[in-house]
Amino acid sequence: SMWRKLRNAAWNYRRLLFMLATPPLLLPLPLMIATKESYCAFVLLLMAIFWTTEVIPLPITAMFPAILFPAFGIMTSSQVATAYFKDFHFLLIGVICLATSIQKWGLHRRVALRLVGAVGVKPAWLTLGFMSGCGFLSMWVHNTSAVTMVMPIAEAVLRQIRRAGEGGRGEHDDLQLAVIRDEYAALGPMR
């Protein structure tokens, strides 16, 4: 029927409809109360709704204040830029790039192999190994950065332990040997 087709079409375009319908529904707030606070509340509510419903990608939603605050006269563009470009943000971006390159070149698998070879696969020893690694990195980089760098290593260790455990091995020594064997096979030639 006609209503079913209309309903299906609305469902297929729900994100677009929601994205287009939300700003006009919130528009009475800044129009009725023309203050910087109401403009800020409009941007805040719009961001909260878009953020929770994810009608557009989150990075685009996060940039709303950079565009709308100067447009509404809430803050100048230089004040907004200062809030967005703190030293800590650049530190995180750099560490995320470093963690990505660690993954791309397989360094996380090599470190995981050395970690499992050094401490074994018992959960308590693995935990100690990861805590020591994070603690060592935290002496030179921010704690969040250290964890970001160690996450690919932890994922590689867990993946290898699961893969080795699926082979039916119950003994920790057999599991450790299987993890080391699988890691050497996955590494390929060391350059």
The tens digit of pLDDT for each residue in 74-85 reads: 999 888 888 888
Of 49-53, 134-138, 178-182, the poorest mean pLDDT is in 178-182
| Domain end point (choices 32, 64, 84) | 84
pLDDT in tens, 50-109: 999 888 888 889 889 999 999 999 999 888 888 888 777 777 778 778 777 877 887 777
* Domain shared by 14 and 50, yes or no: yes
Pair 93, 183 in one domain: yes
Confidence class for position 158, pLDDT limits 50, 70, 90 = confident
**170 CA to centre of own chain:** 34
Q: C-alpha distances in angstroms, 14 versus 8, 53, 56? A: 10, 11, 12
102 with 121, same domain?
yes
pLDDT band of 111, cuts 50, 70, 90? confident
Higher pLDDT: 174 or 79? It is 79
Angle at 143 between CA 129 and CA 96, to 5 degrees: 95
Distances (CA, A) of 83 to 14, 69, 75, 87, 143: 33, 12, 11, 10, 22
Q: Which domain holds residue 99?
A: 87-187
Q: Shortest CA distance to 73 belongs to which of 82, 65, 62, 85?
A: 65
Cβ atoms within 10 Å of 150's Cβ, excluding its own = 22
Among 50, 84, 118, where does a domain finish? 84
pTM of the model: 0.51
Task: Verify that 17 and 35 share a domain, yes or no.
Answer: yes
92 shares a domain with 48: no
Do 75 and 99 reside in the same domain of the chain? Answer: no
Number of domains into which the chain is organized: 2
